[in-house]
């Protein structure tokens, strides 16, 4: 069976209320693998940002890129509210893509 691939905007966090990273990709499962294994040099690997806490699929890459750019301009509180609207416990959503979940953050 072929894996479903679609343009996706996503937010990663280092921990609950920690460092946030907003990105866009055409293959979220592959990109999550790269983030989790430190294969992407730069911000996410430098700051340990690897927990998938929010994502939003799009039909076309242009709309995903436009949404990513908008979210990147938002203030931090708006991003936190976006995450908590759908993921109040900041659970690691990558488990839905076959990854072992990172430890729970409920005690943080």
Domain membership of residue 103 (yes or no) is no
Q: Do the domain assignments include residue 2? A: no
The Cβ of residue 76 has, within 10 Å, a number of other Cβ atoms equal to 9
- For 84, the domain range is 8-97
CATH number, residue 74: 3.40.1440.10
Is residue 104 domain-resident? no
pTM score, two decimals? 0.89
Tens-digit pLDDT profile for residues 4-41: 679 999 999 999 999 999 999 999 999 999 999 889 89
pLDDT tens string 70-108: 999 999 999 999 999 999 999 999 988 788 877 665 544
The predicted-structure confidence for 48-73, as pLDDT tens digits, reads as follows 999 999 999 999 999 999 999 999 99
Element holding 53 (H helix, E strand)? strand 51-57
Alpha carbon separation from 100 to 70, 73, 94 (Å, rounded):
30, 31, 8
Number of compact structural domains in the chain: 1
CA 77 – CA 74 distance, rounded (Å) = 8
In-domain check, residue 64: yes
Q: Report the pLDDT value the prediction gives residue 31, as an integer from 0 to 100.
A: 95
């Amino acid at each position: 069976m072929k894996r479903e691939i679609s343009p996706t905007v996503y937010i990663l966090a280092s921990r609950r209320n920690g460092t946030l990273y907003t990105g866009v990709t055409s293959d979220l499962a592959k990109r999550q693998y790269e983030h989790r294994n430190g294969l992407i040099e730069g911000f996410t690997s430098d700051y340990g940002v690897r927990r998938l806490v929010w994502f939003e699929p799009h039909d076309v890459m242009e709309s995903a890129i436009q949404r990513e750019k908008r979210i990147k301009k938002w203030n931090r509180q708006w991003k936190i509210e976006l995450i908590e609207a759908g993921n109040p416990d900041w659970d690691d959503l990558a488990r839905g893509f076959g990854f072992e979940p990172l430890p729970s953050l409920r005690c943080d």
